Structure 1
Amino acid sequence: MSENKDFHALIRAICVGYGYCGSLQDDGWRHVTRYIPERGYVTVDDFIDWVFMAEGEQWFGNPRAMIRRERLRSCFITYMGSPVVHARRLRWKR
């Protein structure tokens, strides 16, 4: 249960705190959870890449985006407790 609470807190922090709540793109609504695999390990960099993909935002070569990446990195590690977590920890409660 605490794993889901950590994930919910992370999602809330990146959405409310940073405005990364997903976006409407050509193929419909995208959210970071769309990219999380069923199993295996997820790194903080994987997760942040998926956040940017869900927003339809490019980060490479953008100095402001690089700063936002560092803030998101800190947020992920704070809430998830590690820069690498198992994908099952990145799930909504069922």
Structure 2
Amino acid sequence: MLQNRFDELMDFVCVRYGYCGGVVDGKPMQVTHFIHEYGNVAASEFSEWVMLAEDIGPDSNLDFRDQHKKDIEAAFIKIMGSAVVPAKELRWDAEV
């Protein structure tokens, strides 16, 4: 079955990097919880949300954080076709 671009991006984020979501403040969290319903989302925003969903904030002081953010941003641009896309394009295939 063919994936939409967001499914492909999430496959990259979750399967390749293992960022499938975490528990933040006792609540299950996933990058999709940060994506607003309307407007645009930039690759840099998305990569930051991936980190936050894993409870890896800017003050986490983890050496890999910046590199992983850059890798996710590059994948976002390559897969989604732009550095900024409408939020409505960042939906699971089942939600489209």
| Structure 1 length-normalised TM | 0.87
Distance in 2, matches of 1:26 and 1:58, equals 13
Q: Identity of paired residues, percent?
A: 35
How much has 1:62 moved relative to structure 2? 4.6
SS in 1 for 2:4: helix
Letter in 2 for 1:57: I
Q: Residues 5-57 of structure 1: CA distance to partner in whole angstroms, max 9, x if unpaired?
A: 10001001100001110002234110000000000000011111111110000
Q: Gaps spanning 5+ residues in structure 2: where?
A: none
Distance (whole Å) between structure 1 residues aligned to residue 24 and residue 45 of structure 2: 20
In the TM superposition, what is the alpha-carbon distance from 1:72 to its structure 2 partner?
A: 0.7
Moved more, 17-26 or 82-91: 17-26
Determine the structure 1 residue equivalent to 2:25: 26
Aligned to 1:79: 79
Q: Deviating runs (4+, > 6 A) in structure 1?
A: none
Name the count of aligned residue pairs: 92
* TM-score, length-scaled by structure 2: 0.86
Root mean square deviation of aligned Cα: 1.8
